[in-house]
Amino acid sequence: MTTPQAPLSQDELKTLVGQAALQYVVPGEIVGVGTGSTVNKFIDALASMKDQIKGAVSSSVASTERLKALGITVFDANTVESLSVYIDGADEIDGKGFMVKGGGAALTREKIVAAQAKQFVCIVDESKLVEALGNFPLPVEVIPMAAAQIARKFAAMGGTATIRMKDGQPLVTDNGQHILDVRGLRITDPLAFESEVNQWPGVVTVGVFAHQKASVCLMGTAAGVKTFTY
């Protein structure tokens, strides 16, 4: 009689997709690396093939430190013309590869590196799959003096925006700005939504990744890693 296997934990699913992403890394090139707990698993796996790549472009100070600690060279984004692949997680992803990102506050740099890459490989566990974006509070990086004005614009859309706090003070991003987290939205047209919010004065980056959507998603499930191509 075989003992039934215990379901994989969320942490184990993250490890699986982090390792699966290695197949998208092009030997001899520079890889774009995102930010977050799932990406940390990818960075750890990337150490096993660090001698086969030139290095990485990183989307956050935290990822840069982790890469360097493992002996992987990190290049300034300005010195790299393009990347074959960018590998990052998401807070939500829908059936078309549109995402919400920024739970880790690195959305601006993530979007910059994603825009440099020919392919965005999203690595997530199946809890991140949604029918429509908006269940996860939408992160929006803003210039502090515009925060109240932008919050009023979201209120007119039916959303509630609050400044993200850390240790009793507004969180300051790697870029020296603040983040609004917007609850209560249902984003049915991510491309149009991203384009509109991008135009608002004081918005640095909105955490909808529609213009920089995923080309591939590696999703950790109870049945193993599923691959979705968009």
pLDDT digits (tens, 9 = 90+) for 154-211: 999 999 999 999 999 999 999 999 999 999 999 999 999 999 999 999 999 999 999 9
pLDDT given for residue 2 in this prediction: 59
pLDDT given for residue 10 in this prediction: 87
pTM of the model: 0.94
User: Cα angle at 153 between 147 and 156, to 5 degrees?
Assistant: 140
15 contacts: CB under 8 Å, gap ≥ 6: 41
Does the annotation list 15 as a binding residue?
A: no
Fold entry, domain 138-207: Alpha-Beta Plaits (3.30.70)
Domain with CATH 3.40.50.1360 in the chain: 10-130+212-229
Rounded Cα distance between 103 and 179, Å, is 10
Task: List the CATH code of the domain at 10-130+212-229.
Answer: 3.40.50.1360
Does the annotation list 96 as a binding residue?
A: no
Does the annotation list 111 as a binding residue?
A: no
17 and 220 Cβ atoms separated by less than 8 Å:
yes
User: Which residue from 229, 125, 139, 128 is spatially nearest to 180, judged by alpha carbons?
Assistant: 139
pLDDT in tens, 89-100: 999 999 999 999
Residue among 110, 131, 194, 196 flagged as catalytic: 110
* 65 flagged as catalytic: no
pLDDT given for residue 124 in this prediction: 97
Domain with CATH 3.30.70.260 in the chain: 138-207
Rounded Cα distance between 175 and 188, Å, is 29
pLDDT given for residue 3 in this prediction: 58
